[in-house]
Structure 1
């Protein structure tokens, strides 16, 4: 993204701004609106939430006045007010995908079904689409990328989210010619496979996070989804199902992430994992065989080798998302996409003993959580991608706690768009 600040400043000087729409005015969406208001050459022109008061609040917290904003119900209304320089808020996501002046649409919902519809609608209306919704991407990202390519627009994941942050680090190391051996991220809360929105209610609300979102973090699902996106963007794979999830400091990572025969924990290189104790942030384990490079790495206090850690100690989540929107519009480039197709999957595991006839729920719920597995293994097992499961998914068989949920165990919601798009993807892309 070198030089992006100068390109945005040039837009501002010319009297232009990139017109962006944002769906989802929760914690991430609100932060994004405020950050975008600070930027040159960018405007959060439309904000959408099922609770429109949250969308309005996002604008007010960003410093706008009541007279600057308008609530609308239709695309026509949005077009009229935008032409008069007003900011739009609404509960209708169609407006964010279809309004005439919008150049780039951003999904900050984290809901697979919502992300599927919004991405398709945005692409079909020739908007670039930024997915701060990795939950959708890891299920139908290859399909959405192809749809966007065909439409001549950019489909991309987000800067600031851990997959986007680690992809920038990976691109840096790969461009320099280092051998990238491991891609990783930190986890900043203890893994609790039994948690649910009720058990985490007080903790989540005290932090200003929805209990459902906190559950997805605490039961590990969010980490698994993020590692799946990293895999599909780089071709790296899980070393073991779910990752090792070891405990270490940054300085310990080069020794830890060696092959078992070298005294480490790995079965192979070219893998993705997570670490407890290195958070927030993302990292790579890199190596080189050339003596002069080794000498300089040692001179630069990078350690004795042969493995070295490159560590970025922060990722600013939705505050960085506008950079991906700008990159898409100005340079027609993505931040992170599933370039390798489905290398990995986030598959569903029963959170408790379940009975035939029970209805499942999905990410951040009471019945299932996600784990990280190679896509070919998941396919052989018939394991169900977690993002396909919703509250209308019915169990056909008893399932024990900790057991993988397979296609023959459930009846998927055939009215779900993401279910239907996944069928197309499986048919034409795999």
Structure 2
């Protein structure tokens, strides 16, 4: 991302801007529009939301005069409004994918099946797609990247999300020749596999957040999804199913994330994990084989080794997403993408006893949560990826609380773009 500020300033000086469609004007999307309003060389031009008032509010909160906002119902109206210097709001994401002047689309919806539709149609229309939707990326990221590569556009995860922030540390350390032994993120509350939108509602309302989102944080699914993206981008794996999730401060991470025979918790290096006690930061545990480098690390107050921690104490969520847009448009580079096929999978686990004949829901709700494991283990178990489970998923046999859900236990909706992309991905990778 070095020099993006100067490249954006050059665009601004020429009277040009990167024009962006944002899909999803919730808390994250709203802040992102305001962030772009203060940046040089970039503009949120179209905001899409099923609640049109949310879309309008994202613009007005960023300082756009209501008279400059046009609600449209088709691509032609959108093109005309943009040509006239207006900002556009609409309910149909396809308008935002197809509009002529748009160069990049940001998915900030959080819907897994919807995210697949948005990404697929953005790529079909040869525009860059930035996923502030880790859940979709976790299920079909590899095939979406391949489709984007073939179309000559960028598919990427977002700067500011933990996987993107971790990738910066990983690339930094790897480029300098360090061995990256562990990467991961902080979690700001203990795992609560029983959390649901009812039990967290008061907390969610106090924070002005969606109860389903807060549930996904507390039950750990969000953390599992983010760690899976780290695995898929680096080739690193979870050391154990669900990761260790230790409690620690930053200074003790190098020792705690060492091998068991070295006094730590790990069975092996090359792993991804999470920590209670260092949120909202991300970290990398690194080592070096040469004594002179280790001497220098001690000299610069990085500790006695052999493990050292690189720690970034913040990630600014959607406020950093525009940087991924700029990288894609100006440098044709992603922030974080799968290396090839999936390395890790997020397994679907029953949150309560389920009876044959009833229907499930998605993550952050009442019937299931996610645990990270290797893709190979998931395949061997015939486990259902968390993102394929939704309100149309029918339970075929009784399932006990805590059981990993396999394909023979449920009937998956096979009509979605998400499902078909997943099947294609299985064939190609």
CA contact 1:179–1:288 (8 Å) conserved in 2: yes
* Superposed CA RMSD: 0.7
Q: Partner of 1:226 in structure 2?
A: 226
How many angstroms apart in 1 are the aligned matches of 2:151 and 2:124? 7
5 Å-filtered alignment, 1:19-58, equals 19-58=19-58
TM-score by length of 1: 0.99
Q: Secondary structure in 2 aligned to 1:251?
A: coil
Q: Partner of 1:139 in structure 2?
A: 139
Deviation at 1:421, TM superposition (A): 1.3
How many angstroms apart in 1 are the aligned matches of 2:287 and 2:340? 23
Deviation at 1:265, TM superposition (A): 0.3
How many angstroms apart in 1 are the aligned matches of 2:96 and 2:168? 28
Q: Secondary structure in 1 aligned to 2:85?
A: coil
TM-score by length of 2: 0.99
Deviation at 1:202, TM superposition (A): 1.3
How many angstroms apart in 2 are the aligned matches of 1:71 and 1:191? 43
Q: Secondary structure in 2 aligned to 1:330?
A: helix
Deviation at 1:340, TM superposition (A): 3.5
Q: Secondary structure in 2 aligned to 1:341?
A: coil
Q: Partner of 1:162 in structure 2?
A: 162
How many angstroms apart in 2 are the aligned matches of 1:204 and 1:406? 31
Q: Partner of 1:415 in structure 2?
A: 415
How many angstroms apart in 2 are the aligned matches of 1:372 and 1:271? 12
CA contact 1:234–1:340 (8 Å) conserved in 2: no
Aligned pairs, number: 429
CA contact 1:355–1:397 (8 Å) conserved in 2: yes
How many angstroms apart in 1 are the aligned matches of 2:14 and 2:32? 24
Confirm or deny that 1:353 pairs with 2:353.
yes
Deviation digits for residues 89-138 of structure 1, max 9, x if unmatched? 11111111110100000000111111000001000001000000010001
Q: Partner of 1:330 in structure 2?
A: 330
Q: Partner of 2:63 in structure 1?
A: 63
How many angstroms apart in 1 are the aligned matches of 2:82 and 2:218? 41
5 Å-filtered alignment, 1:99-114, equals 99-114=99-114
Q: Secondary structure in 2 aligned to 1:196?
A: coil
CA contact 1:230–1:236 (8 Å) conserved in 2: yes
How many angstroms apart in 1 are the aligned matches of 2:417 and 2:288? 46
Query: Which blocks of at least 5 consecutive residues in structure 1 are unaligned?
Result: none
Deviation at 1:368, TM superposition (A): 0.4
Deviation at 1:304, TM superposition (A): 0.3
Query: Which blocks of at least 5 consecutive residues in structure 2 are unaligned?
Result: none
Deviation digits for residues 51-101 of structure 1, max 9, x if unmatched? 010010011110111112111111111000001111111111111111010
Q: Partner of 1:150 in structure 2?
A: 150
Q: Partner of 1:365 in structure 2?
A: 365
How many angstroms apart in 2 are the aligned matches of 1:219 and 1:46? 34
How many angstroms apart in 1 are the aligned matches of 2:260 and 2:26? 44
Confirm or deny that 1:394 pairs with 2:367.
no
Misfit runs of 4+, over 6 Å? none
How many angstroms apart in 2 are the aligned matches of 1:388 and 1:110? 14
Deviation digits for residues 395-428 of structure 1, max 9, x if unmatched? 1011111100000100001122211211111122
5 Å-filtered alignment, 1:16-415, equals 16-415=16-415
Q: Secondary structure in 2 aligned to 1:36?
A: helix
Q: Secondary structure in 1 aligned to 2:349?
A: strand
Deviation at 1:190, TM superposition (A): 2.3
Deviation digits for residues 15-44 of structure 1, max 9, x if unmatched? 000000000000100010000001000000
Deviation at 1:341, TM superposition (A): 1.8
How many angstroms apart in 1 are the aligned matches of 2:2 and 2:233? 21
Q: Secondary structure in 2 aligned to 1:180?
A: strand
How many angstroms apart in 2 are the aligned matches of 1:72 and 1:411? 38
